[in-house]
Amino acid sequence: MTRRAALFKKMALTQKLHLTKQLRALGLVRDELSKNRAMKAQLEELLEADKATDHARSGMSLYSASWFNTQVRDQLLSISHRCEHLATEMVTLKKDIASAEHKRSRQEDKATELVAEARKLAQDRADIQLAELRRR
C-alpha cells in the first residue's frame, strides 16, 4: 500500500469516527425531540381539559385558573420553540451526516483506486523485469 493510499484510508477512518459521533448526536436529538413532542401533547391536553370545565366559580378560583392557564401556555410556547429548534438541528445533522458519508466513501474509493494502481504498477515492473531476464 502506498503512502497516499494509507493516508486516504486513515482519512476515511477518521471520517467514519466523526460519522458515528454525529449519528449518536442525531439519536440524542431525536429522543429529545420525541420527549418534547410528548410533553407538548400533554400540555395541549391540559389546556383542552381546562376549557371543558367552565362553570361558575369564585373570584379566587378564577384567579388561580387564570394563573394556571398562563403558566401552561408559557410552557407550551417554550416547548414549541424548543421543538422547532430541535427539528432544525436534526435537519442540519442529517445534512452533515450525508456529506460526511459521501466524503468517507470518496476517500475509501480513492484509497482502493490507489492500491489497485500501485499493484498494477508493481505487476508491470515485475513483468518488465521478467521479460528482460528472458531476453538474456
pLDDT digits (tens, 9 = 90+) for 68-127: 889 999 999 999 999 999 999 999 999 999 999 999 999 899 889 988 998 998 898 988
Confidence grade of residue 25 (pLDDT, cut at 50, 70, 90): very high
Let me know: does 44 contact 72? Beta carbons within 8 Å: no
In angstroms, the CA 30 to CA 36 distance is 10
Q: In this structure, is the dihedral angle defined by the CA atoms of residues 106, 111, 115 and 121, taken in order, positive or negative? A: positive
Range in 3-7, 34-38, 115-119 with the lowest mean pLDDT: 3-7
More confident residue, 1 or 39: 39
Mean pLDDT calculated for residue range 20-48? 94
Average pLDDT for the chain? 89
Whether the Cβ atoms of residue 104 and residue 16 lie closer than 8 Å to each other: yes
Q: Does domain 3-135 have CATH number 1.10.10?
A: no
Per-residue confidence (pLDDT) for residue 56, from 0 to 100: 63
Higher pLDDT pick, 20 / 8:
20
Grid coordinates standing for 111? 484509497
Q: pTM of this prediction?
A: 0.71
pLDDT exceeds cutoff 90 at 63: no
CA distance 82 to 8: 40
Give me the residue spans of the domains in the chain. 3-135
